[in-house]
Amino acid sequence: MRTKGYLLRQGLTLFAATLVTLFLIALVWVFWLEAHVFRFMNWGTPPDLDNASRWRFILTCTAFAAIAMVIPGLLSLRLTWRLRHRYRQLLAARARSNHLAQQDALTGLMNRPWFMARLHARLDPQLEQTALLVIDINAFQAINDAYGNTAGDYALRRIAGRLNSVRAVGDPLLGRPGGDEFVVALTGALSPRDLLDQAQALLRQVQQPLVCGSGRVTLEATIGIAIAPLHATSADRLLAAAYGAMHDARNRGERILIQESCLSQAQQEDAGRAQRLRQALDHGEIVPFYQPVVSLSNRETVGVEILARWQHPERGLVPPDEFIPLIESLGLMPEMTRCLLDTAMRDSRQWPGACFLAVNITASYLEDESFTAQMAALLEAHAFPAERLEVEITENVLIERLDVVQQNLSRLHEMGVHVSLDDFGTGYSGLYHLARLDIDKLKIDRSFFDAEEIRQDNLVRLMIAMGRSLGMAVVAEGIEEERLAARLAQQGCHFGQGYLFGRPMPASALHDSLVSSTSAPLAASNLPG
């Protein structure tokens, strides 16, 4: 739309051009054209004017023309302005009415017809996969019944706002087809796992507590997912398939379900396990067990290693090798480690003495730039002394991104946190790594104590001597027999861990064992001098 200034400039240019044209016509007329026209028309001779009269004629003509143009010019300018204003009003009204026709009046999200039209346009080229998620709020009628329809409307608006705030991948389209249902379309190469992640993120938003009327409610939802073109190729059929998945999920008591025919049995099982594991983390089913680490010289407990266990409501206690790999592949390792440490730091307040907490850290987490900041935040939140925290890393963290690992280990050291090299002797670390990295402790892997071979024994002696000469503490893992413990103590190994001293146990059992042991535990910082 042109501005007022532009219109004024155009008007003045037209005005000036007209005057110049008139001036030139008058000039040509009186000095040249008039004589020719008179002669050609046989009108005799034109009036014999002197030059001053001719110029007066030219200027008078031009001036009259200028005066004659002022009023029509102003009128047309006003008319143009008015037209422009009306045109603008018309455009705004059209935009408003388009918006109203496409929008759900309550939530401001796309309404059903407009959502379906957009979905149809996405499916049309069939170039990319589009997943449709139908989110149905469970038992929403109860809110209307308990708090009234106004509160129910408010709840739907809040949920819509929260769903809108989820930063979903796949260029999301969000709509409300009606009632207590929402729909989200995601386009792109999204794996079933990506889709479950997205669905979980949306679900978490719905599950946030809501202030509703005079009460506070926590809602649940069921999400059905269907994928085009795998399951349907038209928008209508895709919506029907997603509704079908949602109803199936509800019948089976699940929260999220992808249309089964889209997935292989293995994929569906994998997706189900991932979903279950995520829930387990959310519900605090992954808990820390503690295994004592003792001083081999006097058998006092100096610290504990945190070992994750899944307290499965049906299967009972699940060992870590059954769920740690999936946790790692889902990228949930940082979250799980933080949860375990959080609980462990809280549990440790009840224990006598000041034993250290050793936590297993995977390569991926140690390579995370924010790793040390997260550890610092945990220490600060619990006012837990950094010297009582020990991170156990395995040798495979030393293979890749050594620079970041080195940086993070140095930072941990500056904070006062100790670092121990777990499963020592089974991986790739060389003397190069041991000399360069800030490592305080070596944990000799239990595989070295399997047989009573002379060769093995010599290797153990060598490792103990090497650790000691580098100023590191040495721990032997997996000690099950007294004989081995005595021999290792004699060989100069500082600490021991194994079933002989205690199996991994829950917090309460560790508490009892610490209380019943007569002597006071030592601190982790009691590294050999």
Binding ligand C2E (rule: CB under 6 A), the pick from 48, 314, 321, 369 is 321
Residue 50 in the binding site for ligand C2E (CB under 6 A): no
d(CA 250, CA 236): 21
For Ca ion, the closer of residues 300 and 477 by Cβ is 477
**Site track 339-378 with Ca ion (rule: CB under 5 A), x = hit:** ---------------------x------------------
Q: Which does 347 bind (CB under 5 to 8 A by kind): Ca ion, ligand C2E, none?
A: none
Binding ligand C2E (rule: CB under 6 A), the pick from 291, 348, 372, 408 is 291
**Site track 350-369 with ligand C2E (rule: CB under 6 A), x = hit:** ----------x-x-------
* Spatial contact of 242 and 116, defined as CB atoms under 8 Å apart: no
* Spatial contact of 302 and 526, defined as CB atoms under 8 Å apart: yes
Binding ligand C2E (rule: CB under 6 A), the pick from 34, 248, 423, 438 is 423
Give kind and range of the element (H or E) at residue 175.
strand 173-178
Residue 427 in the binding site for ligand C2E (CB under 6 A): no
d(CA 237, CA 410): 57
* Spatial contact of 473 and 253, defined as CB atoms under 8 Å apart: no
For Ca ion, the closer of residues 360 and 429 by Cβ is 360
Q: ∠ CA(451), CA(453), CA(454), 5° rounding?
A: 150
Integer angstrom CA distances of residue 379 from 291, 302, 439, 511: 21, 19, 20, 21
For ligand C2E, the closer of residues 173 and 479 by Cβ is 479
**Site track 376-415 with ligand C2E (rule: CB under 6 A), x = hit:** ----------------------------------------
Residue 429 in the binding site for ligand C2E (CB under 6 A): no
Give kind and range of the element (H or E) at residue 394.
strand 389-394
Residue 58 in the binding site for ligand C2E (CB under 6 A): no
**421: nearest Cα among 404, 433, 411:** 433
Binding ligand C2E (rule: CB under 6 A), the pick from 422, 424, 487, 510 is 422
Residue 177 in the binding site for ligand C2E (CB under 6 A): no
**Secondary structure (3-state) at 148:** coil
d(CA 279, CA 288): 17
d(CA 416, CA 388): 9
Residue 498 in the binding site for ligand C2E (CB under 6 A): yes
d(CA 117, CA 379): 53
- Who contacts 391 (Cβ-Cβ below 8 Å, separation ≥6)? 358, 359, 361, 366, 375, 412, 417, 418, 419, 420
For ligand C2E, the closer of residues 467 and 478 by Cβ is 478
**Site track 398-437 with Ca ion (rule: CB under 5 A), x = hit:** ------------------------xx--------------
CA atoms within 13 A of residue 279's CA, in its CB half-sphere? 15
**Site track 453-492 with Ca ion (rule: CB under 5 A), x = hit:** ------------------------x---------------
By CB under 6 A, how many residues form the interface with ligand C2E? 20
d(CA 339, CA 324): 14
Helix axes 333-348, 265-282, angle to 10 degrees: 30
**Site track 59-78 with ligand C2E (rule: CB under 6 A), x = hit:** --------------------
**Site track 228-267 with ligand C2E (rule: CB under 6 A), x = hit:** ----------------------------------------
Contact positions vs Ca ion (CB under 5 A): 360, 392, 422-423, 477
Contact positions vs ligand C2E (CB under 6 A): 291, 306-308, 319-321, 324, 340, 360, 362, 422-423, 478-480, 497-499, 504
